[in-house]
Amino acid sequence: MIPTIIFKDLGLMDYQEAWDYQASLFRTRVNQKLANRSLPEEQHVLPDNCLLFVEHPNVFTLGKSGNQNNLLIDNGFLQKINATYYHSDRGGDITYHGPGQIVGYPIFDLEQFGMHIKQYIFSLEQAIINTIEKYGLTGERLAGATGVWLDPETPKARKICAIGVKASRQITMHGFAFNVKTDLSYFNYINPCGFQDKGVTSLAKELGRDPDLEEVKTNLKENIISLFLTK
């Protein structure tokens, strides 16, 4: 059976609300795969694959293996800059989410796509690379780190997209954070992704203008669907 991907743009949504929503989708799909174990193969029900896009109000999130010391401010200052903080169950270290950033949460059954987790992350990175290429930028990977970078092997290395995922029974959740026209000043309050010697950037900063966010979403959605559904 050919996999399908259902897309939904959640708009601007609180981080906890979006986390609860995607966790519900995740649990439903994990439970479906567990239920299939007791059924003959011809009765197996394949879980739907969901791709969620969302923007969050200002929030810092720390991955399950991250170092809390990479948050450089205290609770009082968090309130002052109108931001919140969550310890997430995704992989990776600390990052920032905010308006003007496309956060993508694919709830995918990797078994349907014939992928393991490293191939999955590689494909997410490639979707971002293909998207920013349309705007004249060359995205690359940095050895030993996830995400998409510009000039990764130089002193000017800067990340334009962070990736942190979780998977169980080959069902994924969490995903990526792509800086389109994000307020990059919030990254000054953390060591982004645990790095102290590398910067962050956005599509807007690199282009010297604000790109149309809806246009970028459309391009990115098409690139993700193409990479996962075209063999």
Residue 120 to residue 214: CA distance in whole angstroms: 25
With beta carbons less than 8 A apart as the criterion, state whether 160 and 202 touch.
yes
Q: What are phi and psi of 141, to 5 degrees?
A: -105, 155
3-state secondary structure of 32: helix
Catalytic residue among 193, 203, 204, 220: 193
| Six token digits for residue 175 | 């995903």
User: Is 161 a residue of the active site?
Assistant: no
Tally of CB atoms within 10 A around 169? 17
The runs of H, that is alpha helices, within the chain are 15-36, 75-80, 110-113, 117-133, 203-207, 213-229
Tally of CB atoms within 10 A around 114? 9
Residue 22 to residue 28: CA distance in whole angstroms: 10
Q: Which residues are the active-site residues?
A: 193
